[in-house]
Chains A and B, each alone.
Chain A
Amino acid sequence: MFDGIDLKKVLAATVAVFIATGCGGGGDGGGDSGGGAAAVENPVDAATAGNISGSIAFEGDAPAMQTIDMEEEPVCADKHASTPMTEDVVVNDNGTLANVFVYVKEGLESLQFPTPSQPVMLDQNGCMYRPHVLGVMAGQDITIKNSDGLLHNINASPTENRGFNMSQPVAMEGTRSFRVAEVMVPLRCDVHGWMTAYIGVLDHPFHAVSGGDDVARLACQRTDQPADGTLVFRPALGLHDRVEPCSGEHSPGKTL
């Protein structure tokens, strides 16, 4: 689900675009979803729905990622065709940036969306988190799977939610969820210090993660009323906020 980059629904409200790389800090205010006004359940109007898409272009020299020494874990090392690398900054061959979490930041406060009954999957495979970045709704189950069959611990360190630190010493699954919106929740395996993942928790379903290709599409209704969006690079690059309007200027293919 989160490998997909195409969001089919469009919002009927003024929204902001928030584009964040995986471990971009800075919460979105968190707290309980919905706000004080009477929430409108599942307000998407298919008649006015549309898509927005954009490329996450990376300019300049891509920083070199570090190789991961998996000598102590041959089971994991054997799962990688080439030397595994850290995923702090993943720049695709075409210069686009992967693992960018894209979501609607503002404008949905008065709306309420049903929590998906389907869990999202976070796998530990080859001593790497798959995916490295994912999005969920508050209250939505996250199935955490250990495909390696060796000891992993999943140490979640949110600030708006309560964290957890779960042991998975064999191939098994566990389930957790986060109660309120929070972007991003960092996850870490302390046994394998290179293993990190980031979960964007939202109180709506409008989010996507750029993948191995080039495009992240985001639901966003074109509107004459400009709103602000923000571009945040992960700490490995330094933290930068960049405001972008979510308006008619956002034609598909525009480089943010």
Chain B
Amino acid sequence: MRILGVVKGQLGAAAVLALFLLGAGAGGVSGQEGLGKTTYDKWCSGCHGVDGDGRGVAAEYMLPRPRDFTLALYQIRTTASGELPTDADIRRIIDVGMPTTTMPGWEDLLSEAERDALVDYLKTFSRFFGQGDEPQAIDFGRATKVSDAVLTEGREQYQVMECFKCHGEFGRGDGTSATTLEDAGSFPIRAADLTENWKFNGGGSVEDIFRRLRTGLDGTPMPSYQDVVDAGVITEEQLWSVAHYVRSLAPEDAPGIDEVIRAELIQDAALPTTADDPAWDEVSVSYIPLVGQIIVSPRWFDPRVDGLWVQAMHDGQELAMRIRWSDPSQSPDPDWAEWKARIIDLMAPKEGDPPEAGPTPDRLVVQFPKEVPTGLERPYFLMGDQRNPVYQWRWRSDQPGAVEAEARGLGTATPLPSAEQAVTASATFADGQWTLMLRRPITTESVSDLDFTTGEAIPVAFFAWDGDNGESGTRAAISSWYFVFLEEPTPATVFIAPLAAFAITGGLGLLVVGRARKREQEGIVTEDETPDEA
């Protein structure tokens, strides 16, 4: 259920964006020239264009751009590289969408007849369909069994096939070639973050990954490895090992969305002093999904940071929070300068105010209300408003430490007086991942910040920017409000009560048993005496 929840949540976000963008482009249904056309014109043309060329009115807000059906280039297929997809291939993507794009799944929104009709209609956009034989799905065989040896083999083949050049050593999409990747439309495209298999286009199972290795993803830089097998460079079994290894880079289960981040109470040890302290390995992790900020102009439709892994702990005196996220570069990184320029050229101009000039760092903000709300009402999640300000921890990759600030709306953050700054930061960047630890006393003398309290759900929200992706200001990735809950020390009554209950229960039990024995003895006497009485 948790997995389903996440998938639905993520697709939901994509669907919201797609439908939001579709608003201007739907343009009404043009006639009744068939169910496929009417369905397409109503739901698909806003992005993919009336003529199927991927140039709908909403297309320029999207990256990757919507598919150009006239080229008949389909990423997710069961057919060989360069071949057309089967009907089932097209139908599957209509049903489940493409998680790393704005393409939502339509399984719950359109009828089966409508989705079937769409398959037929999409094919009419390209003359390639209808030429020659029907596309035939490849027989991919059965997945091999996974074991430590298989994963070791997969890791070795990952190196031999140099997958790291795009996907990075640890699969976070930070390879040296990732900065120049383009799709078939010459638009920049990211190397997949292999640690997030639940977002893979085409599915994240071992079987899905193997299919992508065999077929490639047409229209993207991801090639097919079929020739490598055919040439005897590696065996099909080794290719399965690569699939197993890639699968192993992601968590066993897709993360659930935790509403509450539990800050565990540490009583017998000191709080971690660094972001990579092993003590963090013992603390539970919450996943916080992020989406692009598309409410306040300039909006941002291409956020790089799409999720945070958050941990927290406290010792009754200080609260420590560790946040990790994938990011292919330590911004500003000159190797990504060209990428950044291209993203800005594509995504920024139509949104008015130009992005921040010059090198832009990575940034992260942790946000709380300025006061713990007594009811359900919280400040506006986009950094509050004039009436209800928020209190923030602000970190950026080009400066040491972090800054506490107050904000009354996006772009209004004002640092607290230096005498009241109490938050500290420790950050490391390695292998396409930031790891940031922030610490602050639970209570302070400042009247401008928030005094944390234990045993209470305190609202918390997050903002992230990837500077090398052209993000600054309102061009950010954002979360909604979540909660952080600082565990309370376990009261003595928690330990005493069970003992007392045990003692009472035991005492009562002995009493009952004693009385029963007494009655039994009395009963025996009575029985002995009864015959005489009778």
Taking Cβ atoms with an 8 Å cutoff, the residues of A that contact B are 72, 150-151, 153-157, 159, 162-170, 172-174, 188, 190-193
Contact = CB atoms under 8 A, between A and B. Distances in A.
A166 B181 CA distance: 16
Interface string B225-237: 1011001010000
A169 B82 contact: no
B82 A162 contact: yes
The 5 A-B residue pairs with the shortest CB-CB distance, nearest first, are A190-B221, A193-B180, A151-B162, A164-B82, A167-B223
Contacts of A190: 166, 177, 180-182, 221, 223
B159 to A, nearest CB: 10
A164 B81 contact: yes
Contacts of B220: 165
B83 interface: yes
A163 B80 CA distance: 11
Contacts of A151: 161-162, 165
Nearest to A190: B221
Contacts of A188: 182
Given A155-B221, A165-B224, 6 more contacts: A151-B161, A151-B162, A154-B223, A165-B216, A167-B228, A193-B177
A165 B233 contact: no
Nearest to A176: B82
A170 B227 CA distance: 11
A172 B230 CA distance: 11
B82 A159 contact: no
Most chain A beta-carbon neighbours within 10 Å: one of B176, B181, B221: B221
A153 B221 contact: yes
A155 B162 contact: no
Given A190-B182, A191-B166, A165 B161 contact: no
B218 interface: yes
Given A153-B223, A155-B223, A172-B228, A167 B161 contact: yes
Contacts of B160: 169-170
B224 A167 contact: yes
* Secondary structure dominating the interface of B: loop
16 contacts: A151-B162, A151-B165, A156-B82, A162-B84, A163-B218, A164-B224, A165-B216, A167-B224, A167-B228, A168-B227, A169-B161, A172-B231, A172-B233, A174-B227, A174-B231, A190-B181
Interface of B: 71, 73, 81-84, 128, 160-162, 165-166, 176-177, 180-182, 184, 216, 218, 220-225, 227-228, 231, 233
Contacts of B184: 157, 163
Contacts of B83: 162
A159 B128 CA distance: 10
Contacts of A157: 184
Given A169-B160, A190-B221, A72 B176 contact: yes
Given A170-B160, A190-B177, A191-B177, A165 B227 contact: no
Nearest to B231: A172
Contacts of B161: 151, 167, 169
B224 A166 contact: yes
B233 A166 contact: no
B177 A167 contact: no
Contacts of B218: 163, 165
Contact of A159 (B71, B177, B223): B71
Most chain A beta-carbon neighbours within 10 Å: one of B177, B180, B182, B184: B177
Contacts of B223: 153-155, 165-167, 190
A173 B166 contact: no
Nearest to B181: A190
B228 A169 contact: yes
A169 B177 CA distance: 14
B227 A166 contact: yes
A167 B71 contact: no
Contacts of A162: 82-84, 128
A170 B233 contact: yes
A153 B217 CA distance: 12
A174 B232 CA distance: 12
Nearest to B232: A172
Contacts of A72: 176
Contacts of B222: 165
Most chain B beta-carbon neighbours within 10 Å: one of A150, A153, A193: A153
Contact of A165 (B128, B177, B221): B221
Nearest to B72: A162
A172 B84 CA distance: 26
Contacts of B227: 166-168, 172, 174
Contacts of A150: 162
Nearest to A167: B223
Nearest to B182: A190
A167 B233 CA distance: 11
Contacts of A172: 227-228, 231, 233
B505 to A, nearest CB: 70
A74 B176 CA distance: 14
Nearest to A164: B82
Given A163-B73, A190-B177, A169 B182 contact: no
